[in-house]
Amino acid sequence: MGYISMEMDLSAVRLEQYQELLSATVVMVLGMILSGIFAYRLLADVTEPVSQMVSMIDRIRRGHLDVRIEGKLHGELDTLKNGINAMAISLSEYHLEMQQSIDQATSDLRETLEQLEIQNVELDIAKKHAQEAARVKSEFLANMSHELRTPLNGVIGFTRQMLKTRLTTAQQDYLQTIEKSANNLLTIINDILDFSKLEAGKLLLENIPFDFEDSLDEVMKLLAPMAHEKGLELNLKLDAEVPAGMIGDPLRLQQVLTNLVGNAIKFTESGNIRVTTELKSYNNESIEVRFEVQDTGIGISERQQAQLFQAFRQADASISRRYGGTGLGLVITQKLVKQMGGEIGFTSRLHQGSTFWFSVTLMHTDLPLIQPVDMSGMEEHTLLLIESDEESRKLMTQRLTQTGLHVTAQETLSAPTNLNTSYDAALISVSAKKVPPTEKLLQMAMDAEGQARQVIFCLPTTELAVSERLMQAGVTACFAKPLPIRKLAETLLGDSDKYETVPEQLPVAQNKLPLTVMAVDDNPANLKLISALLSERVENVVTAENGVKAVEQANLHAFDMILMDIQMPEMDGVTASQAIRSSMLNHHTPIIAVTAHAMAGERERLINAGMDDYLTKPIEEPVLEQVLNSWIGDTTDRRQLSSSELTGTKPAEPTSKGSGDIS
């Protein structure tokens, strides 16, 4: 077909390319030159000042507050420079002010430390003085306890020994009153010790089973003579829903009631004092019981009420002069009630009497605590109650009705309207407010015999001497007020001897323990009492008037047991015991500490000093028997051991060990 031939020339195109390349190169070079110029200007005007400011800020951060940025900068950089310099100036001024404050605070702190050092020295001195005062106080309480308990040991002990002999009713009552009074004095001593323990927080409560009604009756019997001497009626109202068996601290509960009832008697001139119990709650075994002690005494004004429950304070300054007392009773009562998990309070109006109440939480128990009296036969008996005091008549009727008796209460003994009416017993309660003459009481007994098969009198504790003439006139029994319900039930049911029956001399144990015991005491009365108590229980008793004579006796004779008084002149009990231990005859003889000290830790101190056991004064006969019985098991072994040491032979191994641990 044919072909096409084309010829192209590129020289013009290349020329244009070279021209463009040259133009671009020139433009690029010019741009780089301009960029370099602008970069130089930027470095000189911005970067270097910024770097300088960064460096200055870093120096300021490190604490060089005196540095500043110099020179004139452009625009905002100059504003920033001025701000940094102003900040540095402010920081410098603040640092200077702070340094001055620190210097001032350091100076003040140095002065404070010097003052604290002086105060620490003063506190250390005060602490030593307080410790010394506490030591002196404890020593004083211990010595006071010893000095008071020592004569009380003789009073209570010999009173109990006299009560073992044949006595008339009046003599027996007088001795019982002496014993109760001595126990009351012992209670005051314990109050002082309790106050010291309560202040130190070292008083511990017991949790033991006790009979609720019996514990309250003991308080009423103890305080009845004080009330009857003032012509006051003392009555107890028991809630029938309160169980008989309780678990708690009966002694502390009795202590609280004794304080409150004692105060009520002290500040009441006429009228009645009533103790009431009420069951507040019963949750499983936990029981909350509320007690009230109501009197018709002088009352307390609102201004004086604020001073109660304070140690050594009375509502009125004249009260202590008129009625006596230290003012510790209510303080101890309040602390004891709080420790027993309860609360205490009172209501009172001047000249209208007072009512003190408290509640405690106890535990219930079904264990038999005292020998029960079968009250089932009481429902078959009818009783004529004669009581002139209306409140006492009402409360006695309530308690007697709770036993099942059919009670007819009258104010006076009147002639029977129905000749066929005959009661099983007539109970004539003589009011403590106005006691009739003896002839009238005898006439009342004769009139009552026409209406009842048995005539029973309930007399104030101040009139018990009349009981002998009443018994001779044919009265079945005479009781002391408040009315003992158990004794009345035993009399009606025929399970009790007559009240006038004089107790035969208590038989001394026919089989005395085959022991030789030495009693050591520097007090003649106490030594005589301990000797009498031991003579009833062991075959041989040796006495020593002091520690020196005790050591002399121990070097001459072998003893099965030694009762050692602790606080004695010439040689105390601990030193004498150590000397006796060094003798061959009594190297293994048990030595029982007998002391009137009752402070906490005394028993542990004596045991650590080498004593084998511990007895407190006044000596309780059951505790003494327990100590004797607990160590009699080692008598044979100790004798064999002592004999073997003397002969140089080896003894046989003991087969028994006395407990030697009496709480």
> Does 539 lie in the same domain as 409?
no
Whether residue 155 is contained in a domain is answered as no
> Does 292 lie in the same domain as 245?
yes
**CATH code at position 451:** 3.40.50.2300
Query: pLDDT tens digit string along 495-513?
Result: 544 433 333 334 444 578 8
Query: pLDDT tens digit string along 619-651?
Result: 778 788 888 888 775 554 555 444 444 444 433
- Mean pLDDT for 192-215 is 75
Helix, strand, coil percentages (3-state) for the chain, rounded to 5, are 50, 15, 30
Residues 521 and 534: their CA atoms lie apart, in Å, by 14
> Does 426 lie in the same domain as 289?
no
Q: Which of 173-187, 449-463, 541-555 has the lowest mean pLDDT?
A: 173-187
> Does 474 lie in the same domain as 392?
yes
Residue 342: its H or E element = none
> Does 435 lie in the same domain as 348?
no
| Tally of residues, the chain | 663
**CATH code at position 211:** 3.30.565.10
Burial status of residue 555 (CB atoms within 10 A of its CB: 0-12, 13-18, 19 or more): middle
What is the structure's pLDDT at 291?
A: 94
> Does 521 lie in the same domain as 469?
no
Count structural domains, the chain: 3
Whether residue 249 is contained in a domain is answered as yes
Query: pLDDT tens digit string along 517-572?
Result: 999 988 887 888 888 888 888 889 999 988 999 999 999 989 999 999 888 888 88
Query: pLDDT tens digit string along 560-606?
Result: 999 998 888 888 888 999 999 888 888 888 999 887 665 556 777 88
Token reading at 93: 């001024």
> Does 579 lie in the same domain as 448?
no
59-63 CB contacts, 8 Å cutoff, 24+ apart: 60/84, 60/87, 60/88, 60/91
Q: Which of 458, 493, 528 is the last residue of a domain?
A: 493
User: Domain range spanning residue 350?
Assistant: 205-364
| Ramachandran region, residue 75 (left: φ > 0; alpha: ψ -120 to 50; beta: rest) | left
Mean pLDDT over the full length of the chain = 79
Whether residue 470 is contained in a domain is answered as yes
What is the structure's pLDDT at 251?
A: 85
307 pLDDT band, cuts 50/70/90, is: low
Whether residue 343 is contained in a domain is answered as yes
What is the structure's pLDDT at 499?
A: 39
> Does 210 lie in the same domain as 328?
yes
Instruction: Report whether 660 contacts 631 (CB < 8 A).
Output: yes
Q: Please state at what angle helix 524-535 crosses helix 621-631, rounded to 10 degrees.
A: 60
What is the structure's pLDDT at 327?
A: 53
> Does 417 lie in the same domain as 381?
yes
Other beta carbons less than 10 A from residue 187's beta carbon? 17
Q: Which of 343, 364, 385 is the last residue of a domain?
A: 364
Examine the pLDDT at 318 and tell me if it is beyond 50.
Answer: no
Report the greatest alpha carbon distance in the chain. Answer: 187
Q: Which residue has the higher pLDDT, 7 or 401?
A: 401
Whether residue 141 is contained in a domain is answered as no
> Does 285 lie in the same domain as 414?
no
Q: Which of 425, 460, 493 is the last residue of a domain?
A: 493
> Does 587 lie in the same domain as 464?
no
> Does 478 lie in the same domain as 422?
yes
Whether residue 352 is contained in a domain is answered as yes
Whether residue 434 is contained in a domain is answered as yes
| Ramachandran region, residue 201 (left: φ > 0; alpha: ψ -120 to 50; beta: rest) | left
Query: pLDDT tens digit string along 290-305?
Result: 999 999 888 887 777 7
Token reading at 472: 């001779």
Whether residue 34 is contained in a domain is answered as no
Assign 234 to helix, strand or coil.
strand
